[in-house]
Chain A
Amino acid sequence: MYEVLAKEKLAPTIKKLTVKAPLIAEKTQPGNFIILRVDEKGERIPLTVADYDREKGSITIIFQEVGYSTKLLGKMEKGDQIRDIVGPLGHHIDMEGYEKVVLLGGGTGTALLYPKVKGFYEMGAEVISITGARTKNLIILEDDLRKFSDKLYIATDDGSYGHHGFVTDILKDLLEEETGIDLVVAIGPVPMMKAVADMTEEYGIETIVSLNAIMVDGTGMCGACRITVGGETKFTCVDGPSFDAHQVDFAELMNRLSFYTNEEEEIKDNAVKEEI
């Protein structure tokens, strides 16, 4: 059992939980994720470790309530116990040797991006962060990002805050105006990651995306998370979750993510009935 130490609502459907998990806190590095199961009947869901505190033995997760399991997780309060957490999983990102990095986060992708922003900043790279969401009250972690970024840009689809438009619009301008960008990191909805990949390919800039494939065990045992990268099948959980954006078959990823849509809707309807 893993105790919830603190809870914070970052936006109406985005929550942040700090959980006691000393072994995982000890080992986590930016880019790692965990898999948790809220209760006995729950799914195993992957979530990025957004932050960790080795001294306190705690990890922080930030998640968007999109379906049954994340909603159930969102119900957890301080003092509650999460049944299972395993990690840290996946490769961490190799941050050494970059001088100027642009990091884009879309929606909750920003939560996944944050540990990398912090990591690159602490490694001494020049960090330009771009975060975006549909509307102003969905923008998360603004202060945290600002703290670890040399520049921070914000975009909203409806123009209620920052640039009116997509994060990719800002990237486009940066690619034109800035020189010396040696890495772009993009995390968010698949279409956004694909757009970024297409854009940076033209400029020949190394680009990393973090994939949100459907997972079960997260240890390389089931192959649910497989995805084609550079023409080869890779397991997102053990070979990733970060990959070279220019090699990823995004169409396949989109397709694979849609496989359980009906079941997810069905279970969400149940959740409404069960008042979760």
Chain B
Amino acid sequence: MAMQKKKTSMQEQKAEERINNFEEVPYGYTDEEALQEAKRCLQCKDEPCVDGCPVEVPIPDFIQAIIDGDVEKANQIIKSKNNLPAVCGRVCPQEEQCEAVCVMGNKFEPVAIGRLERYVADYNMQRGTDKSSKEEIEKNKIPELEGRKVAVIGAGPAGLTAAADLVRFGLEVTIFEALHDTGGVLSYGIPEFRMPKEIVDQEVEAIKELGVEIKLNVLVGKTITIDELFEEGYEAVFIGVGAGLPRFLGIPGENLNGVYSANEFLTRVNLMKAFKYPEYKTPVKVGNKVAVVGGGNVAMDAARTAKRLGSENVYIVYRRAAEQMPARSEEIEHAREEGIIFKLLNNPVEIHGDQGRVDKMECVEMELGEKDDSGRRRPIPIEGSNWMLDIDTAIIAIGTNPNPLLTKNTKDLATKSWGGIKVDDNQQTSREGVYAGGDVVTGAATVIKAMGAGKTAAKNIKEYLLNKSDK
């Protein structure tokens, strides 16, 4: 059979339909499609793709299991390294990770590793076979660690991953989460049509089955402090509290009604389920002309959400050019298909209002100058090019910083100037026994990087506790 050069395509909801619902856009592979795609893998001996994955999923092995028709085994293989495969298969920027280094990609399109991972995870979830095997778990337990307590702060990808690995070592693990739900950004940020909450919940259930205890509604730093956790007998702490503090533009008119941070907008819709208002009681208000400021995944998510809430004209206002947008190209493409209007090389300078409600966004046109520190050409305002965009809602999606609440209330925890927690290569902070990872260390990044950090931290917490018991 001739080599299939392109990825096996995945069916998806048509743009005209999907802008009227919150259901997932791509449907996922069928059994036949998955098998067809799996057969494209060359089973390379040196496994370059595995190096491209921050949590080292044994990619050729799980793909081989698909080919062998044992999708349950494929799942066990993935789960030995990755506790959130249904999540990663959907939102990992595979094109920059595993698929970027896939050998097939040298000449043709890389193997669709992410899609296959999603297929395996979904297949097993639907059949209830997504749990890790009990024998496997018992085998990995370390007697010296059994029954010793570790606290994990934050139930996002970093915290969940660290907790799952720690519990496998035989430790007693409790996650403390500030919100009333688990998942972190997966639950409050990434919209339903990209990351169904049911899937997140099922992955979290599987982690609970491993023995991880999750305490919701505990804001560490307020409800309880890290020092008190140690006093209560926790021997180590992992901090995975993300970067949840929204940045604003700092321009006049930003506190007018109708101006949201992307975090607020998405939290209302996702976590509080405002898209099912009034069945769910939290309202969200979008008019017919929505401007989303920013060019990342968050901006695309906000824009596509606004569209689904019934807004007619949804604009992306971004100060650089298309090539420089940090969002995944797949998301930008999806947004375009859904009729999002791109106002590139434009920067808002003021938001104008009428009777307290936003009605115009004043923008200035930009041009690209010299390269800046980030290696991208710097946008420069074109003097006198100001113009008005008619809007009734503005959503600011220009990034987030770590929330200072926890670090401010924790003694001797060193942070960087922008608020990120300082760690060494082992994810250890300036305090003994306290580790950190994910967005709170790197600033807003990716699910898989947060998970990788959680894994590294778990491994080093294990070492730390083993050394400690030797003393």
Report A's interface with B, CB cutoff 8 A: 23-24, 27, 37, 41-44, 68-69, 83-89, 216-217, 219-224, 226-228, 233, 238, 252, 255-256, 258-260, 263-264, 266-267, 270
How near does chain A come to B95, taking the closest CB pair, in angstroms? 29
Whether B223 lies near A88 (C-beta < 8 A) is yes
Given contacts A86-B217, A255-B257, contact A223 B264 (CB under 8 A): yes
Least distance between A24 CB and chain B CB atoms (Å):
7
A150 to chain B, nearest CB (A): 33
Q: Which of B180, B246, B254, B281 contacts A84 (CB 8 A)?
A: B180
**A259/B255 contact (C-beta < 8 A), A87-B223, A88-B223 known:** no
A260 touching B285, Cβ below 8 Å: yes
Cα–Cα distance between A238 and B219 once the two chains are bound (Å) = 12
Q: How large is the interface on B (under 10, 10 to 19, 20 to 34, 35 or more residues)?
A: 35 or more
- The total of interchain contacts (Cβ-Cβ below 8 angstroms) comes to 110
Q: A221-B263, A267-B278 known; A216 and B272 CB under 8 Å?
A: yes
B147 within 8 A of A: no
Q: Shortest distance in angstroms between A41's beta carbon and chain B's nearest beta carbon?
A: 5
**Which residues of chain B are within 8 angstroms of A68 by Cβ–Cβ distance?**
281
**B281 near A233 (CB under 8 angstroms)?**
no
- Report the minimal beta-carbon distance from A81 to chain B, rounded to whole angstroms: 13
- Decide: B283 and A227 in contact? CB cutoff 8 A: no
Residue-wise, chain B 392-412 has the 8 Å CB interface mask toward A (1 for contact) of 000000000001110000000
A219 to B220, CA, bound (A): 11
- A27-B223, A89-B219, A238-B405 known; 9 new pairs, CB 8 Å cut-off, are A44-B272, A69-B281, A85-B217, A219-B219, A220-B404, A259-B357, A263-B285, A267-B278, A267-B281
Contact residues in A for B65 (Cβ distance below 8 Å):
none
The answer to whether A84 touches B272, judged by C-beta atoms less than 8 angstroms apart, is no
Picked from A216, A220, A267, the residue with its CB within 8 Å of the CB of B405 is A220
How far is B256's CA from A228's CA once the two chains are assembled, in angstroms? 11
For the complex formed, measure the closest distance between the CB of B208 and the CB atoms of chain A, giving whole angstroms. Answer: 17
Q: What are some 20 contacts across the A-B interface (CB < 8 A)?
A: A37-B180, A41-B281, A44-B180, A69-B281, A84-B180, A84-B216, A217-B178, A219-B244, A221-B245, A221-B263, A221-B267, A223-B246, A223-B261, A224-B260, A226-B255, A228-B255, A238-B405, A258-B257, A263-B285, A264-B283
Interface centre among A83, A216, A219 (most CB of B within 10 A): A219
Hey, which bits of chain B sit against chain A, CB under 8 A?
178-180, 188, 216-219, 222-224, 244-246, 248, 254-258, 260-261, 263-264, 267-268, 272-273, 277-283, 285, 356-357, 403-405
A270 to B278, CA, bound (A): 9
Smallest beta-carbon distance B177→chain A, Å: 10
Q: How far is the CB of A107 from chain B (nearest CB, A)?
A: 23
Partner of B261, one of A23, A222, A267: A222
Q: Given that A23-B224, A258-B257 are known contacts, is A224 also in contact with B264, CB under 8 Å in the complex?
A: yes
Question: Least Cβ distance of B363 to chain A in Å?
Answer: 21
Query: Cα distance A203–B326 when bound, in Å?
Result: 54
Cβ contact within 8 Å between A222 and B257:
no
Q: Which residues of B contact A224 (CB under 8 A)?
A: 260-261, 264
Contacts of B263 in A (CB 8 A): 221-223
B375 to chain A, nearest CB (A): 30
Q: State whether A41 touches B280 (Cβ < 8 A).
A: yes
Q: Which residues of A contact B254 (CB under 8 A)?
A: 233
Within the complex, the shortest CB–CB distance from A68 to chain B, in Å, comes to 6
**Secondary structure type dominating chain B contacts:** loop
Contacts of B261 in A (CB 8 A): 222-224
A69 CB → nearest B CB, Å? 6
The chain A residue with its CB closest to the CB of B242 is: A221
Shortest beta-carbon distance, B15 to chain A, in Å? 29
**Contact: B278 with A266, CB < 8 Å?**
yes
| Contact in complex: A87, B222 (CB < 8 Å) | yes
- Residue from B178, B278, B403 in contact with A86 in the complex, judged by beta carbons closer than 8 Å: B178
Q: Given known contacts A86-B217, A89-B219, A222-B246, is B179 in contact with A217 (CB within 8 Å)?
A: yes
Q: For residue B245, which residues in chain A have a CB less than 8 angstroms away from its CB?
A: 220-221
CA A95 to CA B201, docked complex, whole Å? 44
CB of A61 to closest CB in B, whole Å: 15
A233 contacts B255, C-beta separation under 8 Å: yes
Determine how close the nearest CB of chain B comes to the CB of A139; give it in whole angstroms. Answer: 30
How far apart are the CA atoms of A87 and B222 in the complex, in Å?
Answer: 7
Contact assessment for B255 and A252 in the assembled complex, using a CB-CB cutoff below 8 Å: yes
Residues of B within 8 A of A27 (CB): 222-224
How many Å from the CB of A239 to the closest CB on chain B? 11
Which B residues touch A44, using CB under 8 A? 180, 272, 282
Distance in Å: Cβ of A188 to nearest Cβ of chain B: 22
The minimal Cβ–Cβ distance linking B398 to chain A, given in whole angstroms, is 12
B255 touches A221 (CB 8 A): no
| Cβ contact within 8 Å between B244 and A221 | yes
B180 in contact with A216 (CB, 8 Å) = no
A84 to chain B: which residues have CB within 8 Å?
180, 216-217
Q: How far is the CB of A72 from chain B (nearest CB, A)?
A: 8
Q: Closest chain B residue to A90 by CB distance?
A: B222
Smallest Cβ distance from A32 to chain B, in angstroms? 9
Q: How far is the CB of A70 from chain B (nearest CB, A)?
A: 11
Are B223 and A24 touching (Cβ within 8 A)? yes
A264 to B357 alpha-carbon distance, docked (Å): 17
CA gap between A204 and B179 in the complex, in Å:
41
Do A263 and B283 touch (CB < 8 A)? yes
CB distance from A5 to the nearest CB of B (A): 18
A9 CB, nearest partner CB in chain B, Å: 23
Cβ contact within 8 Å between B223 and A216 = no
Q: How far is the CA of A27 from the CA of B216 in the complex (A)?
A: 17
A28 shortest CB reach to chain B, Å: 10
Q: Are B219 and A86 in contact (CB under 8 A)?
A: yes
Closest to B223 in A: A23
Tell me, in angstroms, the Cα distance from A162 to B188 when the chains sit together: 49
A255 to B358, CA, bound (A): 12
Alpha-carbon gap, A258 to B357, bound state (A): 10
Give 4 nearest A-B pairs by CB, closest first.
A263-B283, A222-B264, A255-B356, A84-B180
Asked if A233 contacts B219 (CB within 8 A), the reply is no
* Residues of chain A with a CB closer than 8 A to B404's CB: 220
- CA of A263 to CA of B282, assembled, Å: 9
